[in-house]
Structures are given as C-alpha cells and as structure tokens.
Chains A and B, each alone.
Chain A
Amino acid sequence: MSGDKNAVARYTTAARINHWITAASLILLALSGMALFHPSLFFLTHLFGGGQATRAIHPWIGVVLAISFLGLFLRFFALNFWTREDTIWMKNLGKVINNDDEGLPELGKYNAGQKLVFWGQSILILLLLGSGLVLWDVYFENYTTVDQKRLSAVVHALCAIGAILIWIVHVYAAIWVKGTLRAMTRGSVTRGWSWKHHRKWFRQEVGKP
C-alpha cells in the first residue's frame, strides 16, 4: 500500500503477485503461440531460443498460467456473478464508451465489462488447457486419436485468438480509465475513482451502504 492515507485498498499484495504471474505467462504464451500459428510471426521463436525450444517451453508456460489463473479464479469468482445492475450497465454500453457516466447504476467491485472479461478468460483458458494437453505430444501423444488432435488444434487456435482479443480489451480499459492501473501496481485506488466507478463497493468499504 502507498503512503496515501486517503487511498482505498483494492487488491492485496498476494492478489497482485498472482495477477502479474498470470499476465506474464499469458503474454509469453501469446508470443510463443503466435510464432507457431502464423509463418509471418515465426521470428518470435528467437525470443525463446529457437523453434524447438519454443515448442518445448510453450506448454510448460501454459501449466504456469493454468495454475496461476486458477488462483485468480478462486479469489474473484464470487464477485463476478451477474446482477441486475450489470444488465442495465450493458444496455448503456454506448454511453460508457462515450465517457458519459450519467444514469449508470451504482456498481459493486466489478462492472459488467470486467465480469465478461473474467468469465470469458475463465472459459477460454479451460478450453486452452484441455486442447493443449491433447496437443502436448511429448507426454500425451498416445491418449488421443489423430482426429481428436486435429480438432484440438483448431479449438486451441480459436480460443487463443479469443483470449488475445479479450486481453486487448482488458489492457485498453486499464489505459483508457485513468486511475485503474494503480489498483494492480500499488494495490489501491483513489476515493474519487471508487466513487465514480464502483460506488456500491466503495460504500461497503467505508461501511456506509
């Protein structure tokens, strides 16, 4: 936590470390996976020590991501259930995109967009893990048929593209909505930010619901 006495605590140190392990492994997976997905991006294998090394290391980074993301899932799933406010918020998505916050409902710790990112990544990472194990020939070659492997290759690539698109939305939202990034770097946000974006959560935090 920062020395700012007026800051509102949003993420514990453990949650932040958990998040950044997930972030780092997801970026490394995207780079090594894209390298093997499109010939124009094969040069990215140099970052991992060549084609063979990339092929060997990618699934292990996947294991790190799966375990790390499970940690995030267990920390946050209870806060990500859909509520009536989320439906109203989604109906006002046009206003949200136009930076017009008038008439939006008071929100808990997460808005509908953040919840969709959470559930989207949860489902996609589960599918990526499953299809990835089928493609991990070094250990699991003999457990599936070639047709199952073909299907897994397509599912794996489709889910990876989906996860990368969601990741872009996630990162852009943190750049766009000022004052958000410090929640993951310093663990806290300002009172103004809490009041503006997550007032219901803020009321609970200060004990004035």
Chain B
Amino acid sequence: MATMQSLDIRRRSASTETPPQVRKATVEVAKLIDVSKCIGCKACQSACLSWNDLVEPVGYFQGSYDNPMDLTPTSWTVMKFTEIEKGDDLEWLIRKDGCMHCDDPGCLKACPAPGAIVQYTNGIVDFVSENCIGCGYCVKGCPFNVPRISKTDRKAYKCTLCVDRVAVGQAPACAKACPTQAIYFGSKEDMIGHAEKRIVDLKSRGYQNAGLYNPPGVGGTHVMYVLHHADKPSLYAGLPDDPKISPLVGFWKGVMKPISLAAIAFAGVFGFLHYITKGPNEVSEADERKGDDLAGGKRT
C-alpha cells in the first residue's frame, strides 16, 4: 500500500528522524474477530481479494477446508480450520488468520529499508511497497509468521487493515462483508469493551476460559480475537500463546548496531593514533646492506 497523507505516522522503519508529533494523537483503532461467531464462510477472504484487487491462483484440495492452505502474497487473510475431538464431542475452531497489527511491530523493527514499513498513529502497520527492497527481514521479525514475499516482484505483502478505507472513515472490507458480524471494527477502547460483553456471554454458556487475545508480549495488537479457549490460543491453528519479537532479532536490531559501528570507528581511530604516535615501521639503509650481504652482494 502507500503512505496515507491523511494519517499521521508514529513509527517509520530504518529511520532515526523524529516523526511529526505536534498534532493531537488520533484514536487507536482495532479489529475484533469473534471466533465464536465465525461460521467459516470465507466472505472475508473474498472481500479482501476484491477490495485490494488481488487474484489468488486456483489451488488444489489438500484434505482441509483451508484454501489456500496458508497466507500468500495475494491472500492477506485466510480462514484456518481446526478440528478438536474430546471423546464423542467435536469442536470446530475457525480462525481468520492475518496480520495482527502489533503495537510493537517486529516487522518494522527488523526492516532495513527506510519507510518501507510504517505504523500510523491509529495503530495500523502498513507496508509501503515502493520502498520495499525484498530482503525478507520482516518475515524474521514477525512473531506471527505473516509477511509473504512475492515471487513475482520480490516485495513483502500482508493485510493493510484496509488503511485506505479506514483513512476515509470506512471499516475494513472483511468486517463489512462478514454475514454474522464476527468481525467488528472501531476504536481499540470500544473493541475491548465489546469483547468484555461477549466474554461474559460466552462464560454464561459454559466457556469458562473465554477471553480476549491482545498479547502483551508485542505491546497488544490492533487485531484482537475473542476466543472460547483463551487459556490455550495455540489450539486455534497454532496462534502463538505468548508472542514476542525473537530475542535474536532484538539483539540484531538493537544493541548490535551502535556497538558494531563504534567498534569499526574505534579500529580506524586506533590505527590513526598509532601512526601519528609510533610512526611507520621503515626499512633502514643498514637493513638493505645486510639484505644484500645475505644475498651475496648487490646485482647491478
């Protein structure tokens, strides 16, 4: 997608400049996906392709309702179906997978290209394709395994949270298309409030562990789930129980950068100081004479 002029930028990848801050903070938005209300119709998937002018190539049946089997450079959201058998009981868990729009985005932290990933003040994390260099560092930064690099243009793609719709006051295409209103969109505060009501309802229906998925390890997310089994998010097609940016990525993109440049600068300065204090190591005339003597006299 492209930078939205009507939205302010909070963070910009690989940039040390301070982003504009004088405007009053805008409302943080969030998408709330109520897994308990989802019927797995994939209207959201279709709406996503339609709004974003994307075409997913026709695939093959692989013994699952999942189609495609995973996120792709063109399918920015995919329904993930999980069957859980408990005795005679079957639970069919359906989760709409896609970018979680982390408040502390690992992709943005890992990205080396200035402005290829931005986070708007409303919390949406967006890839700015014209700045993307296709290195795949965002894939390493992401704790949710979301960004996909296109084989066609070597650029990274993922859900934009329909930033172009949100910028003009519209809800994301998936939320608009959902026939059971399992996808809500609004301010993050309102979405948390709404989730609480849903959780009370689910608990009254016997789902004692119902809860909100808004993982603190990534500073919370701007896509949240209501889960009937919030004590075990990994039941839902491997949703991470406690997602965090990998400590390896934290080190690589954190302390290592300044320390490395300092070490290189120090080595250069040390060499310079050595040269101006100790001077060069030169071969004297006497050395040359001894060399000639050893070689058996000077040849002319």
Contacts from B to A (Cβ < 8 Å): 14-16, 112-114, 131, 133-137, 139-140, 145, 149, 154, 246, 248-249, 251-252, 256-257, 260-261, 263-264, 267-268, 271, 274-275, 278-285, 287-292, 294-296, 298-300
Contacts and interface: CB of A to CB of B under 8 A. Distances in A.
Contacts of A208: 294, 296
Contacts of B113: 42, 51
Given A191-B295, A202-B291, A202-B294, A161 B149 contact: no
B288 A39 contact: no
Interface stretch (A11-19, A20-28, A122-130, A146-154): A146-154
A195 B285 CA distance: 12
A126 to B, nearest CB: 20
A93 interface: no
Nearest to B131: A51
A6 B257 contact: no
Contacts of B300: 5
Contact of A172 (B134, B251, B271, B282): B271
A101 B115 CA distance: 54
A54 interface: yes
Question: Which of B114, B274, B287, B298 is packed against the most chain A CB atoms within 10 Å?
Answer: B287
A186 B251 CA distance: 44
Contacts of A150: 140, 246, 248-249, 252
A192 B134 contact: no
Contacts of B292: 6, 191
A70 interface: no
Given A161-B264, A192-B283, A192-B289, 14 more contacts: A8-B295, A45-B133, A51-B113, A52-B154, A54-B133, A99-B279, A138-B154, A150-B140, A175-B280, A176-B281, A190-B291, A192-B290, A195-B287, A202-B294
7 contacts: A55-B134, A149-B136, A153-B252, A168-B264, A190-B288, A192-B285, A202-B295
B57 to A, nearest CB: 18
Interface of A: 5-6, 8, 36-40, 42, 45, 50-52, 54-56, 97-99, 101, 135, 137-138, 141, 146-147, 149-151, 153-154, 157-158, 161, 164-165, 168-169, 172, 175-179, 190-196, 199, 202-203, 206, 208
A146 B295 contact: no
A175 B275 contact: yes
Contacts of A99: 278-279, 281
A169 B133 contact: no
Contacts of A176: 271, 274-275, 280-281
B275 A38 contact: no
Contacts of B16: 39-40
A178 B137 contact: no
A157 B252 contact: yes
A147 to B, nearest CB: 7
Nearest to A194: B291
Given A154-B252, A178-B283, A202-B294, A42 B114 contact: yes
A151 B246 CA distance: 10
A8 to B, nearest CB: 8
B140 A55 contact: no
Contacts of B131: 51
A177 B275 CA distance: 10
B108 to A, nearest CB: 12
Contacts of B257: 37-38
B284 A192 contact: yes
A206 B294 contact: yes
B137 A153 contact: yes
A121 B112 CA distance: 26
A158 B136 contact: no
A196 B288 CA distance: 9
Contacts of B264: 161, 164-165, 168
Contacts of A40: 16, 261
